[in-house]
Amino acid sequence: MTIDLKALFDLSDDQGLNDKVIRELLVSIKDNQVEPFDYLKFKLSYKNLESLGMDNETAIKSAMLTAKTIGLTKEKLLQNVGHYKGVLNREREKFAVALKNQIALQVDKKQEDIQTYKDKIEGNQRKIQQLMEEQRVLEQRILETESSLKASKEKIEEIKDQFNGSFNALYKHIEEDSRLFDNIL
């Protein structure tokens, strides 16, 4: 007999539950179903009796009287309930491992990426500061070199003027002597 587990556990779509998760949990319960008569069949039996108008307590007691005829006891039923709780707990453990892996993949990796980007930005800001300082030093050197260049040009021009002045004065004397000698001799 096939049991509609979703209906058995009153899991309607309007409860806001994740349908994919519910399906996976119910598949796990179905895959681990115990034969011949277990908690699931007992629950189906008392739910069917409730649907006939019996109150919950009467339906459970009546289902138990019927189940006792095939050897089910309260202890076996509760042990079987524990089996399904164990099935669900194993699913929770598998989910916890998968969740941890997803956190590592989706969250931790992105946090590492963010830190890497921040570190790179800080490194770039340091490089920018170093470049700005280097530019300031170079601009200062340009000013100093331009000032030195101007002083050098002025000094050279002054020496040139002094040379030309001295040269012209001496040349003029020699030229005058040449004309004087040429006229007299």
**pLDDT at residue number 1:** 59
**pLDDT at residue number 90:** 96
Candidates 112, 114, 92, 95; CA nearest to 104 is 112
Candidates 27, 38, 37; CA nearest to 5 is 27
Q: 44: how many CB neighbours lie within 10 A of its CB? A: 17
CB 79 within 8 Å of CB 38 = no
pLDDT tens profile 128-160: 999 999 999 999 999 999 999 999 999 999 999
pLDDT tens profile 12-62: 777 788 889 989 999 999 999 887 778 999 999 999 999 999 999 999 999
Burial class (CB in 10 A: 0-12, 13-18, 19+), 6: middle
